[in-house]
Chain A
Amino acid sequence: AQSVTQLDSQVPVFEEAPVELRCNYSSSVSVYLFWYVQYPNQGLQLLLKYLSGSTLVKGINGFEAEFNKSQTSFHLRKPSVHISDTAEYFCAVSDQGTYKYIFGTGTRLKVLA
């Protein structure tokens, strides 16, 4: 069965500093990977997704993620964060051939002035 682990429940970081949000998954088959962001009182918005091809995926708002098959990881990074990046970030996995997204428990990113 698939699972997604987001080890960091909260990540505080100062404005303009870099950040990495960690995501590890387990699956016995090939997977698709997603990062979603949820701003307060809003629904989830897709940041980026890995389907195939280049392991470095670029998304919206300056975020990028790297798929590492040997480490079964899909960590999200941004070189310089802004106050407006304060939100909850969810990693999700879906195996090829199904439609189900399995979400992690989320990481709350708090950007400090």
Chain B
Amino acid sequence: EAGVAQSPRYKIIEKRQSVAFWCNPISGHATLYWYQQILGQGPKLLIQFQNNGVVDDSQLPKDRFSAERLKGVDSTLKIQPAKLEDSAVYLCASSLLSGGSTDTQYFGPGTRLTVL
């Protein structure tokens, strides 16, 4: 079974530029998550989708971050414009069912973003 795929793996941009990350979840997984992992911290949930609907985006900085999940499969996360504090690893995860507490989340390798 193929895992969660993410691209690019690394990205370096200057502040005020825009950037987009792509995630392809495990086939058949209904729920998709985007996390931000700042160096020295644990992952923090940014947004959760169930199929193509947003379940929770309460911690997404909506003035600069946006995300979509077209057709309930792939997802993109965009930052525009980027700030220095956005430097982090962006992790995508997916789970099979409705995203409940017992639902195991499977993580992709992440995209490491450096904002200069």
Contacts and interface: CB of A to CB of B under 8 A. Distances in A.
Interface string B1-17: 00110100100000000
A90 interface: yes
Interface of A: 4, 32, 36, 41-46, 49, 51, 90, 92, 94-101, 103-106
Given A44-B91, A44-B107, A94 B101 contact: yes
A41 B55 contact: no
Nearest to B104: A46
Given A45-B107, A94-B101, A99 B55 contact: yes
Contacts of A90: 42-43
Given A43-B91, A95-B101, A101 B45 contact: yes
Given A41-B109, A42-B109, A90-B43, A99 B103 contact: yes
Contacts of B25: none
Interface of B: 3-4, 6, 9, 31, 40-45, 48, 55-56, 91, 93, 98-110
Given A44-B91, A105-B42, A99 B99 contact: yes
A103 B102 contact: no
Nearest to A102: B42
A87 B40 CA distance: 13
A105 B91 CA distance: 15
Given A32-B102, A95-B101, A101-B43, 11 more contacts: A4-B42, A36-B107, A43-B107, A97-B101, A99-B55, A99-B101, A100-B56, A101-B105, A103-B42, A103-B44, A104-B42
A101 B44 CA distance: 8
